[in-house]
Structure 1
Amino acid sequence: MSNRALRILIADDQHFHRMQIERTLNQLNYYRVAPVHRLEELLTLVEYACDPFDLLIINGTLATHSGFDLLDFCLDNPQVDHALIYDSQRFPPIPSSLRHRIQASRAELPDNEAIKRLMLHIDPPRLKAPRP
């Protein structure tokens, strides 16, 4: 069963990409999703959020166009627990010691299966306790 309380932030300048990712998350029963289309919106939401975001799904080109160090932002920001950076051709490989928090994909858009695997990593199924 999905943890419906997870807070997810999607950042992509293309509306279709944001909608596709959000639709996949909704199909997996995740509804606390905030889509943004500019890096400035993302930074504002993260800065003023009362609670951390459990997951940031971001198109890496948003940061590379502006010269913003997205990897450091994801690693050093206590308001971002996990991140998936996609369309990340210009990013260096993520060290294996950090892959539990940060994942990178060269794909232009994560497909449904990639998002399912990501959510299983972030929100693993809980075993039901046996009834006495």
Structure 2
Amino acid sequence: MSNKTLRILIADEQHFYRMKIERLFNQLGFYRIAPVHSLEELLTLIEYASEPFDLVVINAVMAAGALNLPDYLRDNRQVRHAMIYNGQSVTLSPIPACVQQTVQISHAPLPDLSSIQRQMTLIDPQLPFIGTVTSVR
């Protein structure tokens, strides 16, 4: 059973991608999700959040040239874990092994159900990991 209190922030410029990722989280039982469409909106929500986000899922393209995402997410007290996807489209500095537990970088253009489920089992150990999962289109 999933922890219904976990706060998740999804950032992608494409509405369709935000909705697709949100539906994947919904399949796993997570519903406290804030989707945002711009880097400015993401930074504002993180800065003024009343409590930390348990997971920030962000398209690396959004911060290209404007912000070093791994460093920002790692050093921010308002972010407990982060998943950066579409990492091949921008240059990201290598992440030290001690940080990889909190900041994950994927070169996939979009996270799939199994990658989200793997990430959530790190954040929510009560979530059972199902060996084979199918994704909703």
TM-score (norm 1): 0.91
SS of alignment partner, residue 100 of structure 1: coil
1:81 partner letter: R
Q: Deviations over 1:46-79 (max 9, x none)?
A: 1111000000000001001x42121121011100
Residue of structure 1 in register with 2:134 after alignment: none
Residue of structure 1 in register with 2:106 after alignment: 105
Verify: 1:94 aligned to 2:91, yes or no.
Answer: no
TM-score (norm 2): 0.88
Residue of structure 1 in register with 2:77 after alignment: 78
Structure 2 unaligned regions, length at least 5: 128-137
User: What is the CA-CA distance between 1:41 and the residue it aligns to?
Assistant: 0.3
Q: Deviations over 1:69-120 (max 9, x none)?
A: 2112101110000000001122133221111100000000011111111111
1:20 partner letter: K
Any residues of structure 2 matched to 1:26-37 within 5 Å, and which?
A: 26-37=26-37
Supply the RMSD in Å over aligned alpha carbons.
1.4
Provide the C-alpha distance between the structure 1 equivalents of 2:107 and 2:93, rounded to a whole number of angstroms.
Answer: 11
Aligned residues: 126
2:83 partner letter: L
Residue of structure 1 in register with 2:17 after alignment: 17
1:39 partner letter: L
Provide the C-alpha distance between the structure 2 equivalents of 1:121 and 1:5, rounded to a whole number of angstroms.
Answer: 15
Percent of residue pairs identical:
56
Provide the C-alpha distance between the structure 1 equivalents of 2:108 and 2:94, rounded to a whole number of angstroms.
Answer: 14
Provide the C-alpha distance between the structure 1 equivalents of 2:39 and 2:51, rounded to a whole number of angstroms.
Answer: 19
2:86 partner letter: D
User: What is the CA-CA distance between 1:16 and the residue it aligns to?
Assistant: 1.1
